[in-house]
Amino acid sequence: MRPELNDLLDTARVVALPLATRFRGIEEREALLFEGPNGWSEFSPFVEYGDAESATWLRAAIEFAFGDLPTPLRSSIPVNATVPSVHVDRVAGILKRFDGCRTAKVKVAERGQGLAEDVARVRAVRELLGPEARIRIDANGGWNIDEAERAIHALAEYDLEYVEQPCASVGELVEIRRRTKYMGVPIAADESVRKAADPILVARAGAADILVLKAQPLGGIRRSLDIIEEAGLPVVVSSALDTSVGLSMGAWLASVIPELEYDCGLGTASLLSADVTDAPMQASGGSIDVRRVTPTPRMLDGYAASASRRQWWLERVSRCYEVLAEADASPATM
The whole-number pLDDT of residue 22 equals 80
pLDDT level of residue 334 (50, 70, 90 thresholds): very low
pLDDT level of residue 331 (50, 70, 90 thresholds): low
pLDDT digit string, tens, across residues 187-232: 999 999 999 989 999 999 999 999 999 999 999 999 999 999 999 9
CB of 159 within 8 A of CB of 128? no
pLDDT digit string, tens, across residues 21-37: 887 778 999 999 999 99
Q: How far apart are alpha carbons 30 and 47 in whole angstroms? A: 8
Known binding residues for Mg(2+): 138, 164, 190
Mean pLDDT confidence for 29-58: 97
The whole-number pLDDT of residue 62 equals 98
Domain range annotation of the chain: 5-69+297-333, 76-289
Q: What is the pTM of this model?
A: 0.96
Given this chain, do its domains 5-69+297-333 and 76-289 carry the same CATH topology? no
Residue by residue, DSSP assigns 212-272 as EE-HHHHTSHHHHHHHHHHH-S-EEEB-SS--HHHHHHHHHHHHT-S---S-BB--GGGGB
pLDDT digit string, tens, across residues 248-278: 999 999 999 999 999 999 999 999 999 999 9
Fold that domain 76-289 belongs to in CATH: TIM Barrel (3.20.20)
pLDDT digit string, tens, across residues 76-114: 999 999 999 999 999 999 999 999 999 999 999 999 999
% of residues, the chain, pLDDT over 90: 95
Is pLDDT at 295 greater than 90 in this prediction? yes
Q: How far apart are alpha carbons 36 and 65 in whole angstroms? A: 5
Nearest CA-CA partner of 220 in 40, 63, 2: 63
> Over the range 237-255, which residues count as b (16 or more CB within 10 Å of their CB) and which as e?
bbbbbbbbbbbbbbbbbbb
pLDDT level of residue 55 (50, 70, 90 thresholds): very high
Q: Where are the beta strands (DSSP E) in 176-225?
A: 187-189, 210-213
Whole-number average pLDDT of the chain = 96
The CATH code for residues 5-69+297-333 is 3.30.390.10
Q: How far apart are alpha carbons 128 and 284 in whole angstroms? A: 18
Helix (H, G, I), strand (E, B) or coil at 289: strand
Mean pLDDT confidence for 294-322: 98
Residue type, 274: A
Known binding residues: 138, 164, 190
The whole-number pLDDT of residue 333 equals 47
The whole-number pLDDT of residue 314 equals 98
Question: Which residues share a beta bridge with 26?
Answer: 23
Which residue would you say has higher pLDDT here, 217 or 330? 217
Q: Which residues are known catalytic residues?
A: 107, 214
pLDDT digit string, tens, across residues 139-166: 999 999 999 999 999 999 999 999 999 9
